[in-house]
Structure 1
Amino acid sequence: MLQGFGSRTITAIALVVVAAIAVFLLDWDLQPAIITLVGGIAAALAATGTGDGPIEMLRPVESVRQPSPPNVQEIIQAIVQPVLIVADGRVTHANTVALALLGKHIVGEDVRVAIRHPGAAERLASPTSGVPQGPINLVGLGTKDQHWEMHVTRASGGQRIVQLVDQTGNYAAERMRVDFVANASHELRTPLASILGYIETLGDDKAGEDAQVRGRFLKIMFDEARRMQRLVEDLISLSRIEAEKYRLPDRAVDLGALISEVRSELLDAQDKRSGDIVTDIDLGVPPVAGDRAQLSQVLHNLIGNAMKYGRPGSPITIKLWRDAAGTVRISVADEGDGIAPEHLPRLTERFYRVDPGRSRAAGGTGLGLAIVKHIIERHRGRFDVTSLLGKGTTVTVMLPAHVQTYQATPASSDPNAAVIKR
Structure 2
Amino acid sequence: MTNDTSGNSHNPLPGWKEMLSRRRALLLVVAIVLLVIAIAGGASYWGMAIAFLAIAIAAAFIPSAPAIGKAAPANGADTERDAHIIAFADALGDPCLLLSRRGVIVHRNSVAAREFPSARLGDPVAFSFRTPAMLTAIDAAMQTGVAQTVELHLTVPNETWYKVMISPFRMGGPTADPTLTILTLQNLTDQKRVEAMRSDFIANASHELRTPLTSLIGFIDTLLGPASKDQAARERFLGIMRGQAQRMSKLIDDLLSLSRIEMRQHVLPKGTVDLGILLREVSEGLESLSQEAGVAVSVEVPEGKTNVTGERDELYEVFENLLENAISYGGDGGKVDIVLAPVSNRPGYDFAVTVTDYGPGIEPQHVPRLTERFYRADADSKKKKGTGLGLAIVKHIVQRHRGNLTIKSQPGEGTRVEVLLPR
Residue type of the alignment partner of 2:91 = A
Establish whether residue 267 from structure 1 lines up as the match of residue 287 from structure 2. Answer: yes
Unaligned residue ranges in structure 2 (runs of 5+): 1-73, 172-177
User: Counterpart in 2 of 1:232?
Assistant: 252
If you compute each CA radius of gyration, which structure gives the higher value, 1 or 2?
1
The 1:99–1:69 alpha-carbon spacing in structure 2 relative to 1, beyond 3 Å, is closer
**2:286 counterpart SS class:** helix
C-alpha distance after superposition, 1:218-257 (max 9, x if no partner): 1111111111111111111111111111111132211111
* Cα distance in 1, alignment partners of residues 306 and 89 from structure 2: 51
Q: Do the aligned partners of 2:295 and 2:336 also contact (CA within 8 Å) in 1?
A: no
Residue number among 196, 201, 219 corresponding to 1:175 in the alignment:
196
* Cα distance in 2, alignment partners of residues 123 and 361 from structure 1: 52
User: Counterpart in 2 of 1:14?
Assistant: none
**2:97 counterpart SS class:** strand
**2:93 counterpart SS class:** coil
* Cα distance in 2, alignment partners of residues 146 and 247 from structure 1: 32
Q: Do the aligned partners of 1:249 and 1:289 also contact (CA within 8 Å) in 2?
A: yes
Residue number among 86, 89, 93 corresponding to 1:76 in the alignment:
89
User: Counterpart in 2 of 1:213?
Assistant: 233
**1:207 counterpart SS class:** coil
Mapping for residues 13-412 of structure 1, pairs under 5 Å: 71-89=84-102, 90-103=104-117, 106-125=120-139, 128-133=142-147, 135-140=149-154, 143=157, 145-157=159-171, 158=178, 159-204=180-225, 206-268=226-288, 271-272=291-292, 276-284=296-304, 286-311=306-331, 314-325=334-345, 327-356=350-379, 358-401=380-423
User: Counterpart in 1 of 2:31?
Assistant: none
C-alpha distance after superposition, 1:105-144 (max 9, x if no partner): 6222223334332111111125642355552011117546
C-alpha distance after superposition, 1:284-308 (max 9, x if no partner): 4531121111111101100111111
Q: Offset at 1:330?
A: 0.5
The 1:128–1:140 alpha-carbon spacing in structure 2 relative to 1, beyond 3 Å, is closer
Q: Do the aligned partners of 2:331 and 2:358 also contact (CA within 8 Å) in 1?
A: yes
C-alpha distance after superposition, 1:172-207 (max 9, x if no partner): 111111111101100100000000000000011x41
Unaligned residue ranges in structure 1 (runs of 5+): 1-26, 31-67, 402-422
Q: Offset at 1:95?
A: 0.8
Residue type of the alignment partner of 1:348 = T
Residue type of the alignment partner of 2:134 = A
Q: Percent identity?
A: 37
* Cα distance in 1, alignment partners of residues 205 and 308 from structure 2: 33
* Cα distance in 2, alignment partners of residues 286 and 271 from structure 1: 28
Moved segments of 4+, more than 6 Å: 27-30
**1:136 counterpart SS class:** strand
| TM-score calculated relative to the size of structure 2 | 0.74
Instruction: Name the Cα RMSD after superposition.
Output: 2.6
Q: Offset at 1:145?
A: 1.3
Q: Offset at 1:335?
A: 1.8
**1:88 counterpart SS class:** coil
The 1:219–1:135 alpha-carbon spacing in structure 2 relative to 1, beyond 3 Å, is same
* Cα distance in 2, alignment partners of residues 220 and 306 from structure 1: 26
Aligned residue-pair number: 337
The 1:382–1:207 alpha-carbon spacing in structure 2 relative to 1, beyond 3 Å, is same
Q: Do the aligned partners of 1:230 and 1:365 also contact (CA within 8 Å) in 2?
A: yes
The 1:184–1:130 alpha-carbon spacing in structure 2 relative to 1, beyond 3 Å, is same
Q: Do the aligned partners of 1:112 and 1:120 also contact (CA within 8 Å) in 2?
A: no
